[in-house]
Structure 1
Amino acid sequence: MKTVKFQLEPLTCPSCIKKIEGKLGKMNGVGETKVMFNSSKVKATFDAEQVTAEELQKTIEKLGYPVLSSKIV
């Protein structure tokens, strides 16, 4: 499993957390997902054989949350 961190534009409501975590959590190959509201960061573990970090980023952006940067850690 790999871990990726995304820096988003500032989140405006706590319900954003459930929306992002719920959508990413339903994707094949995604393990734990954590959204940090105060810092507008998303941390997700994923199986690189099933899904890519780019696919995760596209999913977040389709929900309406622009990704400023990403980093695999």
Structure 2
Amino acid sequence: MQKAIIQLETLSCPSCMQKIENAVKGLNGIHPDSVNVLFNASKVKVDFDSEAIAIGDIEKAIEDLGYPVLKSKVKSA
């Protein structure tokens, strides 16, 4: 199990949070209860199974929604 903190460009509306949260929760290998989008900090915190999904796939899902990822930090849980 890995924990990721993904830094995004500044989020401008609370509905953006919901879109990102739903997209990330829908990915295979994500622990849905762990997904936390921090609006004020413009960060996404998530636990994922690195055997099932790579951090790049999570970043791509967020970027495909139109939210640029600035950087990601991954550590083992």
What TM-score range do you get, normalising by the shorter chain?
over 0.9
Number of matched residues? 73
- What TM-score, normalized to structure 2? 0.91
User: 4+ residue stretches of structure 1 with deviation over 4 A?
Assistant: none
Q: Deviations over 1:28-66 (max 9, x none)?
A: 110121100001001111000100111000110001000
What RMSD over aligned residues (CA atoms) do the two structures have, in Å? 0.7
Determine which structure has the larger strand proportion and give its number. Answer: 1
> Hey, what's the Cα distance between the residues in 2 that align with 1:38 and 1:57?
19
Unmatched 5+ residue regions in structure 2? none
Alignment of 1:1-73 (within 5 A): 1-31=1-31, 32-73=34-75
- What TM-score, normalized to structure 1? 0.96
Amino acid aligned to 1:44: V
